[in-house]
């Protein structure tokens, strides 16, 4: 009996010590819930290139390969910052969380996320392998504050069938403009030949798209529109040139009017316009349509970075998702587990790049595996030449909304261009002035 009791006690002790060897960390992410498509421990049953499916599978795989770490995954409603801010206020942020690169300065300036350079170096997570766009996106004041997951940007998604009809294809490649005049000429030629608008872009209930256009074309002109982190310069000839161009495009009916985001996407899928100006994330959906016989895009679909119109070198405004470590009390084991997860995420960069987003690791960006994915060879350069806003600029989402508001007013003719730019500049500077 004594032996039995001893055995039971030893067994109990054994199970206790085994349990304590498992380190639990809380992981908070966006991208939705899709467990129905990805049963635990299995590859996705459907939509294998979807953001949700891929991230679910990566995190499952991490747990499988790291049995000493348990992930407590919390899925936050997009974009996740209301909930995250509330968690900070309650003193209970997660151990690791997804964050847009454009939002990171807000959290860095308040000391809410931790620099990771030393931790990365300790585990051999090579930050020199980050692509330039990714590295810039996660670096604030010289320190790396996150593990970059992707960069994304607006692209020109092109209906090659309609381009062919408009005589805008040469050697199988779309003919794209190199100046504002060429853009207008080609857009008019396209409309005359097809009766359709050259450009499709969300114009209603959408603030980000116009802002991203203006950022990219300001970069094209080498304009310094953030002379410092507290000021923007938009009441400039460079900005006027861009807005007046888009206003003319809109006024001439070369861009489809009154479309919100779903309407613009549906219009492109149904062959109702030549170019859809939307992000990297739509490549998969459009490519699937292109591969469906009988659909408007099946006559040909191409993807290109925004063509430079003002003589600058190829560039684009980019943002991206990163994984960051909120500042909070945690054990050394938990900290180590977070960094191991980040290293694992770095190693799964190819998987995530299947979403359409740009890779963040230079070796992946160069790899035949990545370049073999549809259209990636045409856009991969943006992982190098893409530019985020200066890392010290806070409130980038609010700034985007303000500029988007004013640009929409100007482009649709509700406000004079000069007034809209003046107002945008004033409103953004006022916002930045009041940032504590």
Partner 1 sequence: MSHASHKSLRNTLVLVTLIVLGFIMLIPLIWTVLLSLKANGELMRSTANAFHGPYTLENYIDILNNSSVFRWLMNSVIVSGLTTLGVLVLSSLAGYGFARLDFPGRDKLFLFVLFGLAIPEQAVIITRHQLFTALHLHNSYPGLILPGLAAPFGVFLMTQYFRAIPKELDEAALLDNASRFQVFWKVLLPLTLPAQATLGIFTFLASWNEYWWPLISATRSEMFTLTVGLAASQINFAQTSGLGYLMTQAVFAATPILVVYIIFQKYIVKAVSGAAAR
Residues interacting with partner 1, by CB under 8 A?
30-37, 50-52, 73-78, 82-83, 85-87, 89-92, 261-262, 265-266, 269-270, 281, 285, 288-289
Which two three-digit tokens encode residue 214?
Answer: 């203006």
Minimum distance from CB of 207 to partner 1 (Å)?
15
Partnered with residue 151 across adjacent β-strands are 320, 358
- For residues 297 and 362, which CB has a smaller minimum distance to partner 1 in the complex? 297
Minimum distance from CB of 32 to partner 1 (Å)?
4
Minimum distance from CB of 28 to partner 1 (Å)?
8
- For residues 28 and 221, which CB has a smaller minimum distance to partner 1 in the complex? 28
- For residues 88 and 350, which CB has a smaller minimum distance to partner 1 in the complex? 88
Q: What is the DSSP string of 166-177?
A: TT-EETTEE---
- For residues 294 and 368, which CB has a smaller minimum distance to partner 1 in the complex? 294
- For residues 94 and 105, which CB has a smaller minimum distance to partner 1 in the complex? 94
| 260/202 Cα distance (integer angstroms) | 5
Residue pointed to by tokens 């049953």: 45
Reported as type and span, the H/E element at residue 195 is none
Residue pointed to by tokens 């608008």: 197
Minimum distance from CB of 294 to partner 1 (Å)?
12
Residue pointed to by tokens 């190819």: 350
- For residues 47 and 248, which CB has a smaller minimum distance to partner 1 in the complex? 47
Minimum distance from CB of 246 to partner 1 (Å)?
23
Minimum distance from CB of 223 to partner 1 (Å)?
30
Among 94, 67, 70, 73, smallest CA distance to 83 is for 94
> Alpha carbon of 395 to those of 9, 150, 404, 423: distances in Å?
57, 20, 14, 17
| 373/353 Cα distance (integer angstroms) | 9
Which two three-digit tokens encode residue 19?
Answer: 């349990």
Among 69, 75, 82, 71, smallest CA distance to 52 is for 75
Minimum distance from CB of 4 to partner 1 (Å)?
38
Which two three-digit tokens encode residue 321?
Answer: 């998702």
Query: Which 8-state DSSP code applies to residue 235?
Result: S
Minimum distance from CB of 412 to partner 1 (Å)?
21
**Helical segments of 142-198, H only:** 160-165, 180-194
- For residues 76 and 303, which CB has a smaller minimum distance to partner 1 in the complex? 76
- For residues 91 and 293, which CB has a smaller minimum distance to partner 1 in the complex? 91
């Amino acid at each position: 009996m004594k032996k039995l009791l001893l055995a039971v006690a030893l067994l109990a002790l054994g199970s206790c010590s085994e349990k304590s060897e498992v380190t639990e960390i809380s992981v908070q992410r966006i991208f939705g819930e899709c467990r129905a498509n990805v049963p635990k421990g299995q590859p996705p049953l459907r939509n294998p290139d979807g953001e949700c499916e891929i991230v679910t599978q990566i995190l499952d795989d991490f747990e499988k390969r790291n049995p000493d770490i348990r992930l407590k995954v919390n899925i936050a409603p997009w974009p996740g910052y209301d909930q995250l801010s509330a968690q900070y206020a309650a003193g209970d942020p997660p151990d690791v969380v997804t964050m847009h690169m454009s939002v990171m300065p807000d959290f860095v300036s308040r000391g809410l996320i931790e620099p990771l350079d030393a931790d990365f170096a300790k585990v051999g997570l090579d930050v020199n392998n980050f692509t330039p766009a990714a590295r810039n996106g996660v670096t604030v004041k010289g320190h790396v504050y996150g593990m970059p997951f992707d960069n994304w940007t607006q692209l020109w998604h092109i209906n090659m069938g309609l381009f062919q009809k408009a005589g805008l294809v040469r050697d199988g490649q779309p003919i794209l403009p190199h100046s504002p005049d060429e853009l207008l000429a080609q857009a008019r030629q396209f409309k005359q030949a097809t009766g359709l608008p050259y450009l499709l872009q969300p114009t209603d209930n959408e603030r980000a798209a116009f802002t991203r256009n203006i950022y990219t074309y300001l970069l094209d002109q080498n304009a310094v529109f953030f002379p410092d982190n507290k000021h923007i310069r938009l009441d400039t000839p460079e900005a006027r040139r861009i807005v007046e161009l888009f206003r003319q495009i809109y006024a001439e009916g070369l861009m489809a009017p009154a479309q919100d985001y779903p309407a613009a996407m549906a219009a492109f899928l149904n062959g109702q316009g030549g170019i859809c100006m939307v992000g990297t994330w739509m490549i998969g959906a459009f490519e699937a349509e292109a591969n469906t016989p009988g659909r408007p895009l099946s006559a040909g679909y191409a993807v290109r970075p925004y063509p430079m119109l003002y003589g600058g070198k190829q560039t684009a405004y980019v943002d991206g998702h990163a994984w960051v470590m909120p500042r909070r009390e945690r054990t050394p084991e938990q900290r180590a587990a977070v960094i191991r997860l980040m290293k694992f995420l770095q190693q799964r960069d190819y998987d995530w790049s299947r979403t359409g987003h740009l890779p963040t690791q230079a070796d992946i960006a160069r790899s035949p595996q990545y370049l073999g994915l549809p259209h990636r060879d045409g856009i991969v350069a943006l992982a190098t030449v893409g530019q985020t806003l200066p890392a010290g600029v806070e409130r980038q989402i609010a700034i985007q909304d303000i500029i988007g508001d004013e640009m929409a007013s100007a482009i649709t003719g509700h406000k004079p261009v000069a007034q809209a730019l003046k107002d945008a500049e004033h409103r953004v500077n006022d916002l930045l002035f009041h940032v504590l």
